[in-house]
Amino acid sequence: MKDSANQPVEAPEYPPELARLPPGRHGLPREFVAHNQRERLIAGLAEAVAENGYAGTTIAHITRHAAVSRRTFYEHFNSKDECFVAAYDAVMAELSRRVGEAFEQEDEWPQAVRAGIAAMLEFLAAEPHLARLSMVEALVAGPVVVERYDAAIQNLVPYFQAGREGRSQKVLAGLSPTTEEALVGGMGSLISRRIFADRTEELEALLPDLVEFTLTPYLGSSEAAKIARAS
């Protein structure tokens, strides 16, 4: 057993990319501190937005949560919007890393899809504030973020397109050019609706439905249902 003194007291509230250093002097290299200040500001924004919503968040809220000065804020970001974009990107990078890793760990495509969806739901359920930031607040944060949001959903398309490989002519004939787009859109709407309604605790229970929904066009409904309901 490891020395319990080295164990974190509680699970970190944010993924590693958003982790924070305690404020104060720590004799760390300047570049590292600068980088870390940026991360603290990002984490501070996530907390401030969780508390006040994007529209109600001020730079003072962010710097208070990050425990840095206003001046430090402006050394890193020109505006609240810019800081939000950085936070949004950090969350989405983490989410897509987890989905990608889960997907790659499976050899069979249907299982890989299942693992990828499970990783996404798990992350969003475990981090309700970040889920809200990336799917609810993102839409009110202006066109730059909305564009990124759209791109993030469209970025899931290739995971499903991979399912076309090796399918029979008959199956392929049943797929249209927009099949994958409709699948990621449908999946996104189920997820975002629950986040909007503050029902993130229901997210993980969506797994079988989402797996069956997304695999059916490629495998047929009974095969898809079998994989979806396998534990």
Partner 1 sequence: MGSNSTTRPLPGRQQLPREFITRHQRARIIAALAEEATEKGYRAVTVADIVKRAGIARNTFYENFSSKEECFLAAQEYGMSTALGRVVEAAGSFDEWPQRVCAGLGAFLGFVVEEPALARTCMVEALSAGPAAVRYYEESQQAFVSLFKLGRDVSPRGAELPETLEEALIGGVFWILYQRLTSSQLEAISELLPQLSEFALAPYLGPEGARKAAAL
Least distance in Å: CB of 140 to partner 1? 5
Gyration radius of the chain's alpha carbons: 20
In angstroms, rounded to a whole number, what is the distance separating the alpha carbons of residues 170 and 217?
A: 11
Among 41, 130, 187, 203, binds partner 1 (CB under 8 A): 187
* Binding footprint of partner 1, residue count (CB under 8 A): 42
User: x/- site string to partner 1, residues 128 to 167, per CB under 8 A?
Assistant: -----------xx-xx--x---x--xx-------------
Based on the shown chain and the rule CB under 8 A, indicate whether residue 174 belongs to the binding site for partner 1: yes
Which of residues 68, 213, 215, 219 is near partner 1 by CB under 8 A? 213
Please, which contacts does 135-141 make with residues 24 or more away whose CB atoms are closer than 8 Å? 135/191, 135/192, 135/195, 135/196, 136/192, 136/195, 136/196, 137/49, 137/53, 137/54, 137/84, 138/88, 140/54, 140/55, 141/54, 141/81, 141/84, 141/85, 141/88
Residue linked to tokens 């402006």: 74
Minimum CB distance to partner 1 smaller for 124 or for 210: 210
Q: Which residues bind partner 1 (CB under 8 A)?
A: 139-140, 142-143, 146, 150, 153-154, 170-171, 173-174, 176-179, 181-190, 193, 196-197, 206, 208-210, 212-213, 216-217, 220-222, 225, 228
